[in-house]
Amino acid sequence: MARVSPTDEEILAQLPAARARARYRRKTRPHAQSAQFDRRTGTIRLVLMNGVEIALPLALFPELAGASTAELSDIELLGSGGGLNWERLDVQYSVPAIIREALGPWVLMQAAGSAGGSVRSKAKTVAARENGKKGGRPRKRHTATDS
């Protein structure tokens, strides 16, 4: 079965939703504003859209091992800053993946758990009130081994 190409009108109708998705992703996922190789420190300096600056050691980028300073300095942002590209080396990295690698999985899991625990919902409020009627959260018992 032949695939039918969308009409110009169908494509134009999809643009507002695509732009809204892009705005949402720029707000909720890390995107690079700029990236450069710092010869003095031997790090990749990444500036995110929210102003956060990160210096990343080359050890986080195994595919860049052995590259010359000129090759390392030739960094290009992909898309709207969601990735980094070294064209001459044929190496690409996702900005969220770089940050995940730099911070480690435990830091991110802690942050996700904290964010999830601080979410307020009607169901959570009702459950907390019901628990309060029962005397609230049970107190922790301390034993001699706790000290």
CATH class of domain segment(s) 29-104: alpha beta
Q: Report yes or no: 18 and 28 within 8 Å, Cβ to Cβ.
A: no
Helix axes 95-103, 105-117, angle to 10 degrees: 100
User: Where along the chain do its domains lie?
Assistant: 29-104
Please report where in the chains the tokens 């990236």 appear, as a residue. Answer: 35
- Within 33-121, residue ranges assigned H as helices are 69-73, 95-103, 105-117
pTM of the model: 0.61
Is the pLDDT assigned to residue 146 strictly greater than 70? no
What does the pLDDT average to over 125-130? 82
**Residue bearing tokens 């979410």:** 119
pLDDT tens column, 45-103: 999 988 889 999 999 999 999 999 999 999 999 988 889 999 999 999 999 888 888 88
- Please write the tens of the pLDDT for every residue from 3-60: 889 999 999 999 999 989 888 877 777 889 999 999 999 999 999 988 889 999 999 9
